[in-house]
Amino acid sequence: MGFFYFDESVHPKGKFDLGAFAYSESSLEQPVADALRRSGLNPYIDEFKSGALMVRHPEQAHARGLLWSVIHKHCQIGIIVAPASPLEMLGREALQGLVKIVSTNSFDNPAHDVFFDEGIFPSSRTADCAAKGISSANCQFHFEQNSVRILGLQVADLVAHSCATMLLAQLGLVKKTIKAGPNSGYDSDGDMPLEFSLWATLRYNFFATSQPPYETWKSQLDFKVDVESRGLHISDSCDDAVKSAALSRFGSMYLGCIH
């Protein structure tokens, strides 16, 4: 049994909502619970929230770092981009995107549990009706789930928030730098664009085509994979600028050296 977890990041200023599927071949409950405990949080009581002010909540910052490790070890990710309004459109687009992901990628187990955070659909009944209209024979849906109890949703929250930040930067709406830090391959005290750091952290985890054979490269820049056909769904209703930015940011992923 595989496990999909879906959460969203809403950005009316950017004219988009971005949802993220975090997929694991096994349940994320135990690795997320371990990460929370190691951060001083109590699983099923406390939760990691990407929107928390990390400076004031060091336990949240610690959990974020450990959850990155969970993503790297366990997860593949898919991105859904929809218009900012109405919000319920994101749920319908997410179901379409899920069909794309399931039908174009290989899985150890063809059956999946799919968990959606609360508020993605107007109601569970609306969600159930929408799910009946798609090819979902191998998916068991769980709508209106509480992320305090379904711990994998906290991973999806981190992915959605991070990818939305990358898209906002692509649109020119976010301009923030952070210190490169130790073990980054750069001067630890040097400034680095936030979106670059996020991209570098996630770039190997997107659902994508296989890596191109080395003998087909003309240069190092050819070491990239196609995400658009396997792990990215952009609503036809999106603003043209959002469509272009999302495709530029997520449509393909360079996997070569960045140092």
Would you say residue 181 has pLDDT above 90? no
DSSP line for 40-97: T--BTTB---TTS-TTT-HHHHHHHHHHHHHHHHH-EEEEEEE-SSSTHHHHHHHHHH
Confidence of residue 185 (pLDDT cuts 50, 70, 90): low
Query: What is the signed CA dihedral for 36, 40, 43, 47, rounded to 10 degrees?
Result: -70
Segment (H or E) for 106: none
Task: Report the Cα 38 to chain-centroid distance in Å.
Answer: 23
Task: Please give the pLDDT value at position 189.
Answer: 61
Whole-angstrom Cα distance, residue 203 to residue 206? 6
- According to DSSP, the residues that pair with 254 across neighbouring strands are 224
| Interval 188-199 mean pLDDT | 83
pLDDT cut 90: percent of the chain above it: 73
Helix (H, G, I), strand (E, B) or coil at 172: coil
Range with lowest mean pLDDT among 56-65, 73-82, 99-108: 56-65
Q: Which residue ranges form the domains of the chain, and what is each CATH number?
A: 2-254 (3.30.420)
Task: Please give the pLDDT value at position 183.
Answer: 61
Q: What is the pLDDT of residues 145-160, one digit of tens each?
A: 999 999 999 999 999 9
> Has this prediction a pTM greater than 0.75?
yes
Would you say residue 25 has pLDDT above 80? yes
Residues in contact with 51: Cβ distance below 8 Å, sequence separation at least 6, in sequence order: 161
Helix-helix angle 29-38:152-170, to 10 degrees: 80
Range with lowest mean pLDDT among 33-37, 81-85, 184-188, 198-202: 184-188
